Amino acid sequence: MDRLELKALGKINLGLDVLGRRENGYHDVRMVMQTVYLYDRIIMKKSKTPGIRLETNLYYLPVNENNLAYQAAQMLMDEFHMEEGVSIQLDKHIPVAAGMAGGSSNAAAVLFGMNRMFSLGLSQKELMERGVKLGADVPYCIMRGTVLAEGIGEILTPLSPMPKCYVLIAKPAISVSTKMVYEKLDSHEIEDHPDIDGILAGLKAGDLKKVAGSMGNVLERVTVDAYPVIDQIKKMMIKEGALNAMMSGSGPTVFGIFEEKATARKAADAIRDARLTKQVYVTNIHNARRKR
Ligand SMILES: C[C@@](CO)(OP(=O)(O)O)[C@H](O)COP(=O)(O)OP(=O)(O)OC[C@H]1O[C@@H](n2ccc(N)nc2=O)[C@H](O)[C@@H]1O
Ligand SMILES: Nc1ncnc2c1ncn2[C@@H]1O[C@H](COP(=O)(O)OP(=O)(O)O)[C@@H](O)[C@H]1O
């Protein structure tokens, strides 16, 4: 196989709790992750010339070793002493620095693609062990679907799939650093832990309303304090008929869960009309796990 086309899907966090801080600064988390059908497209081609050539449609993203897609290819090339090269075309659609794991998902797709294209023979577990060195969310992005993530995000338990629904995604025009959000959290006492067990019970029962009603994210307070627009978008989504709305990951993306596509579309228009942000997408959840 000389050419491979992949979809690197984004994620939302239906629940995100932080249990403690490790000595190295990383945090122990308990999160419910869900893949959504908003994706970057990646085309990989083998080449006789050694090395990695990366191109992307976003001029402001690095195309060298600072790009997670590049790092993923490099990691396997070094380990397997590969003599051939690879060119990677990365078409970004997942909002960047948004709390949707765009970079991690790109890295996951490239690890998967390199393993396939160069017949490296790594199992999914072996890919995940390598992936976590690139980012805490990379193992999940390899697995995909509805998953409980613990440890720093790398201990994964597949869950019953999220019931069918529509997801409205709105990314305010601000960027937040994941590292800073976790650091700021350390200066707060966490008063309200989200009801992760409620989400798990809702998923088990296939009860969308219970899942949505139990959603919660401890990182939200930190980011909302700095950027009130996040709260404004949440409130508008709920007013426009979302079962619930919440910030994803470290933000600033807000997502709303809707039963009807038409309602989600109307809410998207309302957010645009109120000029809260232009970056708005109506999508759905994606429950298929990655084929090995
Ligand atoms: C918050 C979450 C929720 O899914 O996602 P995003 O908002 O990034 O999408 C993740 O925990 C982010 O995962 P990811 O973005 O892969 O993290 P990394 O690149 O490994 O780490 C970036 C920085 O976040 C902090 N970090 C990350 C994960 C974790 N369990 N504890 C942490 O404290 C560390 O300060 C680290 O330097
Ligand atoms: N392939 C990539 N796609 C997006 N961002 C990348 C990529 N590689 C490196 N980055 C850098 O990682 C940072 C976080 O990006 P991203 O993964 O989109 O956010 P998040 O971790 O919030 O989901 C960005 O500021 C960007 O400069």
How confident is residue 191, by pLDDT bands cut at 50, 70 and 90?
A: confident
∠ CA 124-125-129, rounded to 5°: 120
pLDDT of residue 292: 57
pLDDT digits (tens, 9 = 90+) for 56-93: 999 999 999 999 999 999 999 999 999 999 999 999 99
Kindly give the number of the ligand 2 atom that is closest to the alpha carbon of 60: 27
Q: How far is the CA of 103 from the centre of ligand 2 (A)?
A: 4
Residue 190: pLDDT band with limits 50, 70, 90: confident
Question: What is the arithmetic mean of pLDDT over 127-148?
Answer: 98
Pocket lining: 236 vs ligand 2, CB cutoff 6 Å: no
ipTM of the complex: 0.97
Separation in Å, CA 228 to CA 174, 225, 232, 250, 278 = 11, 6, 7, 15, 16
- Which domains, from first to last, does the chain contain? 3-158 (3.30.230.10), 166-284 (3.30.70.890)
Residue 1: per-residue pLDDT: 82
Q: What is the mean pLDDT of the chain?
A: 96
The answer on pLDDT for 168 being more than 60 is yes
Residues acting as catalytic residues: 11, 137
Q: Which among 31, 292, 10, 32 is positioned nearest to 162, based on CA atoms?
A: 32
pLDDT tens-place string over residues 12-40: 999 999 999 999 999 999 999 999 999 99
d(CA 108, CA 103): 9
CB contact at 8 A, 28 and 152: yes
